[in-house]
Structure 1
Amino acid sequence: MSNFLNSIFKVPSTLRLISPLRYHNVIQAQNLFTTTSLGIDGYVQSRKKTKEQFGDLADKFRVKMTEFVDSPKNMIFTEDLKNMTHIAEPTDIELVLKMIKKFNTQKTEFRFGSFVFGPILMRMFHFLDAPKEALTCFLDPDNKGFFDQLMSFQILLDLLYTHQMYDEMFEVFEIIQKKQVNMTKYPKYVVVLMLAACYKLNTPKSFQYATQMWSEMISTGIQPVRRSTTFMAGLALNQHAPHIALESLSQQKPHYITIRNIKAMALADMDRIDDALPILRGVLEVDRPDQQGKHTFFEETLKRVKDGVARVNDKHLTNEFEKIEKALRDRNLVDQQTLDQLLTSDITLVINQNKQGMPRMPYNRRQNKHTSVIP
C-alpha cells in the first residue's frame, strides 16, 4: 500500500519535510477550531471569577509581581502565575512573559504541585490575540518543556493560523515533531492545522510539503481524521492533481458531503464521467422528501462535472447528466455553499477541563503514557 501511495504522490525521497514557505497575498483566514474546542470558553469563565475575586486589588497585584520578577530574592509561585494569567490584559503580556521565565527557571524544590500551565497560558495568548508573544514564549529556550502538551501545540497553531503566520506554523511543527509528545510525530489535530495551512497557501511548494507529510503518515499506519483528508484532497484539486485527491479519500466513508463532492470533482477532472455520474445518481436513490438531512451537491461540483461531460463529448453521457442534474435541482439537492467554505468552517470538539487546565481522561487511560490527552 505504501509503495503504491509513494508512486501516486511522486514525492522525491530527498525532499526535506520542513522548509520555509514564504508566500504573499494569501486568503484571509479565521480560527479553525472553535473557542470551545480549544478550552478558551472555560478560560474566560475562570478569568471572570478571578477578576471578581481580586476586585480593586488587581493593580496592586500587578505592581507586586513587577517587583518580584526584578528581585532575585523573591519567587514566583504557582498561584501567582495562575492569578496573573487570569487577569492579564494586553498591557500585561510583557510582565506575564517575565513571570513565566522566572517561574520556569527558578529552583523547583519548593514546588509541590503538578499544575500544567502550558494550555492555560496559550489560551490566554489566544484570548488576548497575541500570536507573536505566544510564539516568542514557546520558542524561548528558558521555557523548554513548559508547553510540551498536545493542547498547547493545537492552541498555538490555531492562533498562528488565524493570523496567516504560516511560515511560523511550519517552524513550530518541526519542533513538535522532534518532541514527539505522547509518542506521536503526527498529532491528529496538529496535522489538521498544518494541512489547513498548506491548503490556504495553495502553492506547488505547499502541495509538495503536504504530499510528503501525507505519504509518511500513511506509510507508518496513521489514519488521518476526515478534515485532514478533505484538506489534502481539496489542495490536490486546486493544484490540478485529481488522482491524488481521489487516492486521499480511499479510506473515508462516501456519505459525507465533502467526500462525495470531492470525489465527483476529481473524477470529472480526470474525464471519468461514467464513474462520476453514479455518485450524483446515488444521492437521488437515498434522498427522501421527508428526511431532515439532505444529501446535496455543490453548484460548483455540478459545473465541474458538466465541463467534464462537454470534454468527453459523448451523447449518451450528456443526456444522462442532464437528467440527473434536473432531478437534483427539482428535489432542491443543489447547495450554493462552496467546498472552500465547508472545508474552512469551524471545527467543534468536546473537551473536559480539570482544574489544571488539561483535558480529563478516565483513570485507567491516564496510566498509559502513549495515550493522547486530546479527545
Structure 2
Amino acid sequence: MALSATTSSCRRLFLLHVTLKGVKCDVGDPSSWTCRLGARRHLLSEDVIKLQEFQRRKVALTFKHGGKGEYVQAFKHKLDRNERILRDELKELLHLCQTPEDMVVAKAAICRYHEENQNVPRMDFKFGPLFMRLCYELNMEEMAADTIKDKTLKGFFPDSTSFNIVMDMLFTKGRYEMALEVLTDMRSQGVLFNKHSYILAFAICYKLNSQRSYRICTTILEEAQLKGLLVPRHAYCFAVALAIKQGDTEKAKSLYSQIMSTNRISQNLQVYVLALNGAWNDVLSMLTQAMDPRSPFVKKPEFSQEVVDAVQRYGEQNPSFRHRVKQVLARLQQSGQVTSLTLDEMLCFTPSDQARPFSKMMQTKNVYRAPGALQSALLSE
C-alpha cells in the first residue's frame, strides 16, 4: 500500500508542467530563427526516454534497501577491494544513485564491469541506456557526454538509444557543440542510427547553423539514402530549415521534394521555400487551398506568423503579385489560421500525445538532489 501510494504521488510529480511567458524574437532573417523563452526544445518523447519507468523502479529499490546510502557506500568498499562486480549488483547501484558523489562511484563501477566483461557477450542487458537515464534524471549531461566518449569504455554503449538520450539531454540544455561531438563519436564508433538518431542529428546541425554542421547534415543524409534507409519526415524538415538558414534555396527545394507526406511543419516550410524561389502561383494556390479544405471535418492548417511575414516581405519585391499576396494573407489572418508559434518552435516540438512528463532537464540551472532528496520528494503529497 505504501509503495502504491508513493508511486501515485511520484506520478503526480512527473506530470507537473512549467509554463513560462514567451518573449518573441525577431523573425526577419532565417539565420536568426530561435525559440521563444521557455519554449520546449526536447525532441524525444517519454516512450523513448522511459524516464518514468526508470524512476518507478528507483522508488521500489529505494524502499527495498531502506535508502541508498549504505548500498552505495558498500559498493565503494567493494571497488576498493577489487572484488568482482555482478550484473544485478550494478543494476541496483544505478537505480540508487542520487548525488554527484554517487555518480563517481557509478562511473567507476561501469568501468570496472566493462573491464571484467568486455570479452563476454552481453546480449541480455544493456547498461548504457540505464546509466544515461540516471544522468538525465540527475541533470548531469556533461558526465553523460564524457562517459559515452570515453575510449576505455568503447563497446559499452553499442546501442543508438544511449547516444540518443545523451544528445537529447544536451539539445535540451542548448549544448549543441557538445551534442555534435557525441554525434561525431557515434558515427566513428559505427553505432547504427535509428529514426530518432536522424532527427537529433539534423536538429543539432540545424541549431548550430554553421558550414560544418551543414556539411555533416548533408553527408549523413546522403549516406542514409545510399544505403536505402528511411529518414523520418521530421529529420527532413530540420534539413530543409538548415538549408534555408544557410541560404541554399535550391538545396532546400530539393530536400523538400523528398518529403513523402505533409504535416504542419512541412507545409510551413513548403510555403517558405516556394516564396524564396519566387514560385508565387504555387504559394497563392497552396494558401488558398489551405483556407478552403475539401471537407469541413478537416482542420484547417495553421501557418506561422514568421512564414506569413516572410511571404509578405518577398511578395513586396514582386509588383506582379504584390496585391494578390496581400489579399490572400489578409484572408488567412481573418480565418484564424496564423499562429504565433515560430518555425523553430514548430520544429523543436514533441507532439502532445508523446510529450514526456516534466523533468528537471527543463530547468536552465544545474540542480542536484541532496542525499535522500529523492525518497523525501516521492513521499511528499
Q: Deviation per CA, 1:201-241: give whole Å up to 9, x if none.
A: 12233223322332333343333101111111111122222
Scaled by the length of structure 2, the TM-score of the pair is 0.75
Q: Report the CA distance between 1:113 and its aligned residue.
A: 8.7
1:214-293 to 2 correspondences below 5 Å: 214-253=221-260, 255-286=262-293, 291=297, 293=299
Seen in structure 2, the aligned counterparts of structure 1 residues 196 and 348 have a Cα distance that, compared at 3 Å, is: farther
User: Counterpart amino acid of 1:329?
Assistant: Q
Provide the residue aligned with 2:30 in structure 1: none
DSSP-derived class of the 1:180 partner: coil
Inter-partner Cα distance in structure 2 for 1:128 and 1:156: 13
Provide the residue aligned with 1:306 in structure 2: 312
1:1-375 to 2 correspondences below 5 Å: 30-56=41-67, 58-72=68-82, 74-90=83-99, 91-106=101-116, 114-181=124-191, 184=192, 186-253=193-260, 255-286=262-293, 291=297, 293-314=299-320, 317-346=321-350
Do the aligned residues in 2 keep the contact of 1:273 with 1:305 (CA within 8 Å)? Answer: no
Do the aligned residues in 2 keep the contact of 1:298 with 1:335 (CA within 8 Å)? Answer: yes
Inter-partner Cα distance in structure 1 for 2:122 and 2:196: 32
Q: Deviation per CA, 1:142-161: give whole Å up to 9, x if none.
A: 32211111211211111222
Q: Report the CA distance between 1:30 and its aligned residue.
A: 3.6
Q: Report the CA distance between 1:282 and its aligned residue.
A: 1.6
User: Counterpart amino acid of 1:344?
Assistant: C
User: Counterpart amino acid of 2:145?
Assistant: L
Inter-partner Cα distance in structure 2 for 1:195 and 1:294: 28
Q: Report the CA distance between 1:110 and its aligned residue.
A: 10
DSSP-derived class of the 2:71 partner: helix
Scaled by the length of structure 1, the TM-score of the pair is 0.77
Do the aligned residues in 2 keep the contact of 1:295 with 1:333 (CA within 8 Å)? Answer: yes
Inter-partner Cα distance in structure 2 for 1:175 and 1:109: 22
User: Counterpart amino acid of 1:238?
Assistant: K
Q: Report the CA distance between 1:43 and its aligned residue.
A: 0.5
Q: Report the CA distance between 1:168 and its aligned residue.
A: 3.0
DSSP-derived class of the 2:317 partner: helix
Provide the residue aligned with 1:371 in structure 2: none
Do the aligned residues in 2 keep the contact of 1:36 with 1:348 (CA within 8 Å)? Answer: no
Do the aligned residues in 2 keep the contact of 1:265 with 1:305 (CA within 8 Å)? Answer: yes
Seen in structure 2, the aligned counterparts of structure 1 residues 212 and 149 have a Cα distance that, compared at 3 Å, is: closer
Q: Deviation per CA, 1:3-51: give whole Å up to 9, x if none.
A: xxxxxxxxxxxxxxxxxxxxxxx98884322344311111011111111
Q: Higher relative contact order by CA 8 Å / sep ≥ 6: 1 or 2?
A: 2
Inter-partner Cα distance in structure 1 for 2:177 and 2:127: 26
Q: Report the CA distance between 1:254 and its aligned residue.
A: 5.5
Do the aligned residues in 1 keep the contact of 2:224 with 2:230 (CA within 8 Å)? Answer: yes
Provide the residue aligned with 2:364 in structure 1: none
Q: Report the CA distance between 1:128 and its aligned residue.
A: 0.9
Do the aligned residues in 2 keep the contact of 1:36 with 1:42 (CA within 8 Å)? Answer: no
Pick which of 247-256 and 261-270 moved more.
247-256
Do the aligned residues in 1 keep the contact of 2:180 with 2:205 (CA within 8 Å)? Answer: no
Seen in structure 2, the aligned counterparts of structure 1 residues 31 and 71 have a Cα distance that, compared at 3 Å, is: same
Identity %: 21
Seen in structure 2, the aligned counterparts of structure 1 residues 68 and 109 have a Cα distance that, compared at 3 Å, is: farther
Q: Report the CA distance between 1:245 and its aligned residue.
A: 1.6
User: Counterpart amino acid of 1:132?
Assistant: E
Do the aligned residues in 2 keep the contact of 1:287 with 1:295 (CA within 8 Å)? Answer: no
Seen in structure 2, the aligned counterparts of structure 1 residues 30 and 265 have a Cα distance that, compared at 3 Å, is: closer
Q: Report the CA distance between 1:108 and its aligned residue.
A: 8.1
Q: Deviation per CA, 1:248-286: give whole Å up to 9, x if none.
A: 111324641111111111111122212211111120231
Pick which of 228-237 and 129-138 moved more.
129-138
Do the aligned residues in 1 keep the contact of 2:141 with 2:170 (CA within 8 Å)? Answer: yes
Q: Report the CA distance between 1:327 and its aligned residue.
A: 2.4
Seen in structure 2, the aligned counterparts of structure 1 residues 287 and 238 have a Cα distance that, compared at 3 Å, is: farther
Inter-partner Cα distance in structure 1 for 2:65 and 2:291: 61
Do the aligned residues in 1 keep the contact of 2:233 with 2:260 (CA within 8 Å)? Answer: no
Do the aligned residues in 2 keep the contact of 1:300 with 1:338 (CA within 8 Å)? Answer: yes
**What is the aligned residue count?**
318
Do the aligned residues in 2 keep the contact of 1:297 with 1:335 (CA within 8 Å)? Answer: yes
Seen in structure 2, the aligned counterparts of structure 1 residues 292 and 169 have a Cα distance that, compared at 3 Å, is: same
Pick which of 110-119 and 187-196 moved more.
110-119
